Each structure stands twice: as structure tokens, then as C-alpha cells.
Amino acid sequence: MATLQEKLAEQIPKSRQKVKAFAKEHGAKEIAKVTVAQFLGGLRGVYGLLCDTSVVEPDKGLIIRGHPLLEIKDKWPEEIFFCLLTGEFPDEEAKKSLQQDLDKRSYVPEYVWDVLESMPDDSHPMAMLNTGILVLERESVFRKMYSEGMTKEQYWIPALEDALQILAKIPSIAAGVYRLHYNKGDIIPWTPGLDLGANYANMLGVPDPTGEFAELMRLYLTFHSDHEGGNVSAYTCYTVASALSDPYYAVSAGLNGLAGPLHGLANQECLNWILELMDEFGGVPTKKQIEKYTRDTLAAGKVVPGYGHAVLRTTDPRYTGFLEFGKKHIPEDPVFKTVATVFEVVPNVLKEFPKIKNPWPNVDAGSGSLLFHYGLREFEYYTVLFSVSRAMGMLAQLVLHRGIGTAINRPKSLDFNRLSSLV
């Protein structure tokens, strides 16, 4: 089978032609309308961008290139990345070639560590990760080739080059952030020949005598890799890259969005909520106690972290996947047991509030309990794990957009007077 680069070289010119011809033929046709509620409500449900890597069906959840997530959950993250980009899973040869490519690119220059080491102790790990990516921007091949002059048809080539560099380095930077920020000792280097998930697990330095933590990391990286195009991180990356800012700028910007409590940061808040709940009742709480605690959270005007979603209207399959992992490997763990019992209580409480459109758990509701069990107990760090994964989706989308030549993003804003005049 062809390598990733060869496959894309074959596919991208065809996609570009297809989209161009489609725009020419159907350009004047209307495909979407927008209500005032949508206009003022984060454009929820408004069709506004093309994204071929994945779709999120409200009643099914994440589908990567036609594959429902739980059907491909045992694929390795690098296979998922290949599939996000090309729509196909690599055979053994192509997978090996991608792994070797990542091995070659995995080295993180010393100046990155110098910058990260000089950051104040109370810097958030997400700020450290994003700084690490941004400081690497000087390496951008896209920026170099753009300034030297290249054709639009060539944009995707250096974009892919930068994407592979970021993908290969982000696990090392993220693991380095963990070890620096939490004083875990020396930075552990990337091990050539080891897959992305196991490598990341190993570089974090979390003891893993059973190999289960590496298995969890593979699952974690696969599950968070992409969630179509309109979520805050992907959409931010898309917008920044549409200005032809290079992938280092664009991914760093996307991850800054992931650092928000309603998006990626929710995973650190979820485990906090679970542990505080356990603290309040002195161990694994009963269903009645969970119900009371949920009601108290809502009465205090707070959200129940890990529940609800902008698009999903069912249990997130990513949550289901993590729950299955926990049931298989750590069914007696008290924090995991609490998470599983919360699932039996919280949706019924949230259903009483008609304004909450989705009472079901999202990806963040369960993963923290698994990380906690295996010894990764620094909640503030959890969004960094999410970032290592989501970089795959953002980068894949970015390369494909440069491939088809997507225009600079520029929706029209209206002032309130103009908006009022339209109703």
C-alpha cells in the first residue's frame, strides 16, 4: 500500500477538482437557513463548513470516515490519523512507514525545553503545552515555502510536513510538561519502534507493569482525536489556518480553545466533581446521595461536568468505551464505581430541566477515573492528554483544507440594529 504522502498526492488533486466543480455547478443554491436563536446561540446546527474527517450524529456520536467509533476503538492512534486524512486504514507496511516517519521527527529541540523550564511554576500545563508548540513555529516548512513562493496547489505538501512534525513532537512535549511541571524527574525520551500511545504512556513515566496504562493511552488518543469541524478547537484551528497561518500557529490556537472549561478543560472538572462528591459522603456514595449532590450543584447555578453536549443527544460512545474499559480492568475501583453509579442517576435528574437538551454523559464523564486509577492524578494535566489526541483531528482537517483550497473564513457579523431590522 502507498505511504500516507503518496496516498494524499493521489487523492488531493481529485478532491480539489471535485469541490471546485461542485462549487461551480451548485454555487448559487441555498443549503441552510439561520434563526435568530441560532444566530445568538453559537450558530448551533447551522451548516457552515466542510469537514470530511468525521461526523457527529446526535443519536450515534462520533463516526470517523464512515466507521462508528466503537467499531474501530482498538485501532492505534497513528492508524486513526492515517484514516482521518485518507479515509482508509493503512496496511502493515504503510503503518510501519508512518511509525518510522514519526520516529525520525520525534526529537524536540533543546530551546523548547529552555522556554518551558523558564515558565513560572503556576503556569497551567495547557499554557505550557501551547507555548511549546508555538515556540517551534520557527521550524515551519509551510511558512518558509510560502515566503519563497509556491502555488496554491502545493499548500498541502508543506502543511502535511508541519503536521507530521507536530504530531511526532506533541507527545514528547506533553509528557515533558508533565515531568517538568510536577517535578517527576528527568524527561524521558521517545522510544523508536514503539507506537504513539505506548510511547506517550512511557514518556509520562507512570508505572505500568501490566501494560494497561499504555492500552488506556491508545484508547484515549483514539477517542479524542476528532469530533467533526465545528467544535471550538477544530473551528479555531480552521479559522486561523484559513488565513494561511502555518500549522504551528493554527494548532496552538485551537488548543487554546480546548483549554476552556466548557470544552477540553471539562475533563479536569469532572474528576474534581466526583472526588468532592465522594469526600462529602465519605466514600462511594449511594444513588440517593448522588441525586442530592447533583441537585445541590444545579441549585448553586453550576453545570454538572461531563454531562450534556452541543450536538449529541445520546450517551457519548466515547464514554461507553471508557466505561467498558473500566468494567473490564478496574471494576472494584471506588472512583470508577462512583462514576458508573453517577451515570445511573444524573441523566434522570437533568431530564427534569427541559432547557438541558442532552442529559447524557459526554467523553469527559468517565476518563478521569481511569487515569486516576493508574496513578495519573494531576487533574490540571488532563486537558493536555486531550490535546495530544485532538491535534490529530485538527491537523488532518487542516491538511485537507489546504488541499482543496478552502477560502479564508469570513462570516458576516451584524450590529443589533441590522439584526432587529431583519425580523
- Measured in whole angstroms, how far is the alpha carbon of residue 196 from the centre of its chain? 15
Which residue number, 112 or 266, has a Cβ lying nearer to ligand HAX? 266
State in angstroms the smallest separation of the CB of 249 from ligand HAX: 21
Which residue number, 158 or 361, has a Cβ lying nearer to ligand HAX? 361
| Identified binder of ligand HAX from the candidate list 264, 285, 366, 368, rule CB under 6 A | 264
Q: How far is residue 246's CA from residue 70's CA, in Å, rounded to a whole number?
A: 33
CA distances 239 to 16, 132, 167, 250, Å, are 19, 21, 20, 8
By CB under 6 A, residue 255 contacts ligand HAX: no
Q: Is the dihedral of CA 224, 225, 231, 232 positive or negative?
A: positive
Q: How far is residue 358's CA from residue 217's CA, in Å, rounded to a whole number?
A: 27
Contact string 147-176 vs ligand HAX (x = CB under 6 A): ------------------------------
Residue 115 grid cell: 522556554
Residue whose beta carbon is closest to ligand HAX: 308
Q: Is 263 one of the annotated active-site residues of the chain? A: yes
The helix/strand/coil state of 54 is strand
By CB under 6 A, residue 414 contacts ligand HAX: no
Which residue number, 263 or 402, has a Cβ lying nearer to ligand HAX? 263
Q: How far is residue 248's CA from residue 196's CA, in Å, rounded to a whole number?
A: 20
CA distances 78 to 194, 288, 320, Å, are 11, 43, 22
Which span sits near ligand HAX by CB under 6 A: 105-113, 159-167, 304-312, 333-341? 304-312
State in angstroms the smallest separation of the CB of 306 from ligand HAX: 5
Residue 173 grid cell: 512535549
Q: How many CB atoms lie within 10 A of CB 333?
A: 18
By CB under 6 A, residue 221 contacts ligand HAX: no
Q: How far is residue 377's CA from residue 360's CA, in Å, rounded to a whole number?
A: 25
By CB under 6 A, residue 308 contacts ligand HAX: yes
By CB under 6 A, residue 306 contacts ligand HAX: yes
Q: How many CB atoms lie within 10 A of CB 363?
A: 27
By CB under 6 A, residue 299 contacts ligand HAX: no
By CB under 6 A, residue 266 contacts ligand HAX: yes
CB distance 351 to 97 below 8 Å: no
Q: How far is residue 112's CA from residue 115's CA, in Å, rounded to a whole number?
A: 5
| Identified binder of ligand HAX from the candidate list 129, 253, 310, 396, rule CB under 6 A | 310
| Identified binder of ligand HAX from the candidate list 199, 362, 369, 406, rule CB under 6 A | 362
By CB under 6 A, residue 46 contacts ligand HAX: no
| Identified binder of ligand HAX from the candidate list 99, 358, 387, 406, rule CB under 6 A | 358
By CB under 6 A, residue 56 contacts ligand HAX: no
Q: Is 226 one of the annotated active-site residues of the chain? A: no
Which residue number, 72 or 312, has a Cβ lying nearer to ligand HAX? 312
State in angstroms the smallest separation of the CB of 225 from ligand HAX: 12
| Identified binder of ligand HAX from the candidate list 197, 305, 326, 403, rule CB under 6 A | 305
The helix/strand/coil state of 409 is coil
Which residue number, 75 or 318, has a Cβ lying nearer to ligand HAX? 318
Q: How many CB atoms lie within 10 A of CB 377?
A: 14
Q: Is 208 one of the annotated active-site residues of the chain? A: no
| Identified binder of ligand HAX from the candidate list 68, 314, 356, 378, rule CB under 6 A | 356
By CB under 6 A, residue 317 contacts ligand HAX: no
Which residue number, 208 or 316, has a Cβ lying nearer to ligand HAX? 316
**For residue 247, which amino acid is it?**
P
CA distances 21 to 11, 16, 25, 26, 338, Å, are 16, 9, 6, 9, 54
What residues contact 269, with CB distance under 8 A and at least 6 apart?
261, 305, 306, 364, 379
265 burial class (0-12, 13-18, 19+ CB within 10 angstroms)?
Answer: buried
Binding site for ligand HAX (CB under 6 A): 262-264, 266, 298, 303-310, 355-358, 362-364
Among all residues, which ones are annotated catalytic? 263, 309, 364
